[in-house]
Chain A
Amino acid sequence: MISFSHVYKTYAGPTHALRDVNLEIQKGEFIFLTGPSGAGKTTLFKMISAFDRPSSGAVSVAGYDIGRIDSSQVPFFRRKIGVIFQDFRLLKGRSVFENVALPLEIRGERQPLVERRVEEMLENVGLAYKRTSPIEQLSGGEQQRVAIARALIHQPGVLIADEPTGNLDPQMTEEIMDLLERANAQGTTVFVATHDHELVKRRAKRILGIRAGQIKDQ
């Protein structure tokens, strides 16, 4: 599902953000990526979501060659993945329903299907009762659940989460991780970057460590 082969990423400076990264993630896996700040986690995730491309080497995600993908194809590639951020990245001034419905509307799905899928997804994340609430009125944990619902609404093959629990309390962290595990149980490949070593230990999943741009299976 995700494959990195001898991937290097060098920025002007030069700064070597990734160095000879080799990685194979199979369909349906749940992986934690850990490492200190500046180790290359964000660069790796930007590459997986086609916000960046390798300086050399090959990156393949959901069947797309990220190094060679045409810019006109990038939006269609992104519709096959789901992304969650620490800062939620939700559209302010819009309701919970509108935020979750966005990926389906972008795909041009019909309104009855959009409504049915969003209702189901809001039930799954426990936010059906807040469907009309503006995003600004939600707590951090609720906003992250909306972000997860938005990332999963179009049933992506890969879900990448960059520090999804970084701003949440321990109880909410567990709830969010439960949601991600449920998505994984339904066949979605889940790739989570986190600083939280305790969380990683508790969940007992495959762990990748990144340090100075190099990845090691732990």
Chain B
Amino acid sequence: MTSSIKDDLRSFRRSWIHHTGMQLATFTVLTATFVVVGFVLSLSLNLNRLLASWGDTVTLTAYLKEEVTTDRLDALRTEIEKLPIVSKIEHTPREAATERFKSQMASYAPGLLEDSDFANPFPASLRISLVGGVRTEEDVKTLENLAKQIGALSGIEDVSYGQSWVQNYSGFVAGLTTSGSVMMFIMLIGGLFVVGNSIRASIATRREEIEILELIGATAGMIRRPYVTEGAFMGFLASVTALAICFGLHLWQMSLLSSNVALARIVGEISFFGAFVTIAFTLTGTALGALGAWLTIRKLNHGWSASQKASA
């Protein structure tokens, strides 16, 4: 009777029948906790993915001095190609830079395209793409070092990579990851207490049963197991329900984004949890339920252990 999962399931069922209100409250609070954790996790993963895709577009522009000759340009390209994390180099002559500027400004200053007196203020440049883009603080440091190395080369006037944007971006990614982790940690600790309280109530109403089991020689492990299993079942049910709710929220969020023209293009970048995260989320919820129950019941000591304490 105390030796199979089937019996533990029966015990879980009995708890639901005898303490429906308490079990329902625990299930609701735990599910709500997991929904918040799932939502924060989903937000964090998607924002990281979105920011990573933006980080992939970061390029470094090296502006050339006016006196750089074609031979020196070729030599520069060779020297830069040898540097780490450089994936592609694109040369933009002065004229091309001017043309690009004119076409970009056409809507604001239509006459600019035909203005033959427009003096060319733009230097020639090399646009350098990076392997793996910029995603972390470490990538930012590598980018800064690369910029210094390129800036020190003969024939380079200046190097630009949107320094302040990159630094803000990496800080934002780091902040998001840290605050998301802290929030999820706090929520999970709260979840432990919720399960613990439910198990404590279950123990209080089944105290006689525990005493009977002790009386006929059940070990502490045998007595604890149904409660730990009960916590695990509760954690499993709550995490699966929370995943279903989070999926519903995800679909709703996607429909909102799709209906907004300005935001529609990021829809492709947003996705729900993959198989790994889904399984990990469910396992974590189950383990959290079991842990909450175990922490509550581990000090179960009627009879002998209690008498030892009382007499000590």
Question: What is A's interface to B at a CB cutoff of 8 Å?
Answer: 11-12, 46, 49-53, 55, 69, 71-72, 74-79, 83, 89-91, 93-94, 98, 101-103, 105-108, 150
- Give the complex CA separation of A74 and B14 in angstroms: 28
CA of A106 to CA of B214, assembled, Å: 10
Residues of A close to B308: CB separation below 8 A: 53, 71
Q: From A97, which residue of chain B is reached at the shortest CB distance? A: B1
Q: How far is the CB of B103 from chain A (nearest CB, A)?
A: 82
Contacting pair A106 B218 (CB below 8 A): yes
A101: chain B residues within 8 A (beta carbon):
1
Per-position binary interface string of chain B over residues 297-312, scored 1 when its CB falls under 8 Å from any chain A CB and 0 otherwise? 0000001110110110
Closest to A98 in B: B1
B111 lies within 8 A of chain A by Cβ: no
* A59 to B: closest C-beta gap in Å: 13
Q: Pick the interface stretch among B38-46, B140-148, B205-213, B279-287.
A: B205-213
A89 contacts which of B3, B14, B208, B311 (Cβ < 8 Å)? Answer: B208
Interchain CB contact under 8 A, B215 and A78: yes
Contacts A55-B311, A91-B209, A105-B1; A74 near B216 (Cβ below 8 A): no
Kindly list chain B residues whose C-beta atoms are within 8 Å of the C-beta of A50.
Answer: 303-304
CB-based contact B307/A51 at 8 Å? yes
Closest Cβ neighbor of B304 among chain A residues: A74
Q: For residue B213, which residues in chain A have a CB less than 8 angstroms away from its CB?
A: 102, 106
Residue from B219, B222, B307 within 8 A of A52 (CB atoms): B307
For the complex formed, measure the closest distance between the CB of A90 and the CB atoms of chain B, giving whole angstroms: 7
Q: Contact at B212–A90, with CB atoms within 8 Å?
A: yes
Chain B, residue nearest A49 (CB): B215
A-B contact pairs, 6 of them (CB 8 A): A75-B220, A83-B216, A89-B212, A89-B215, A91-B209, A98-B1
Chain B residues numbered 211-269 whose CB sits less than 8 Å from any CB in chain A: 211-220, 222
In the complex, are the beta carbons of B215 and A71 less than 8 A apart?
no
Please tell me if B28 contacts chain A, counting CB pairs below 8 Å: no
B2 near A: Cβ within 8 Å?
Answer: yes
Besides A79-B216, A90-B212, 13 other CB < 8 A contacts?
A: A51-B215, A51-B303, A53-B307, A53-B311, A74-B304, A89-B208, A89-B215, A94-B1, A101-B1, A102-B1, A102-B2, A105-B2, A108-B3
Interface string of B48-78 (1 = CB under 8 A from A): 0000000000000000000000000000000
Contact check: which of A46, A93, A107 meets B14 at CB < 8 Å?
A: A93
Contact between B311 and A75, CB atoms less than 8 A apart: no
Closest B-chain residue to A79, C-beta based?
Answer: B217
For the complex, give the distance between the alpha carbons of A153 and B215 in Å.
Answer: 14
Given contacts A51-B304, A102-B1, A108-B3, contact A78 B222 (CB under 8 A): no
Q: A105-B1, A105-B3, A106-B2 are in contact. Are A75 and B14 (CB under 8 A)?
A: no
Closest 9 CB pairs of A and B: A79-B217, A78-B217, A51-B303, A75-B219, A74-B304, A52-B307, A75-B217, A103-B216, A106-B218
B193-215 contact mask (Cβ, 8 Å, vs A): 1 or 0: 00000000000000011011111
B217 and A103 contact, CB distance less than 8 A: yes
Give Cα A12 to B222, complex, Å: 32
Contacts of A69 in B (CB 8 A): 304
Minimum Cβ distance to chain B for residue A97 (Å): 10
With contacts A91-B212, A102-B1 taken as known, whether A75 is within 8 angstroms of B307 at the C-beta atoms is no
Nearest Cβ on chain B to A208's Cβ, whole angstroms: 23
> B79-121, CB under 8 A of A: which get 1 and which 0?
0000000000000000000000000000000000000000000
On whether A78 and B212 interact (CB within 8 A), knowing A101-B1, A105-B1, the answer reads no
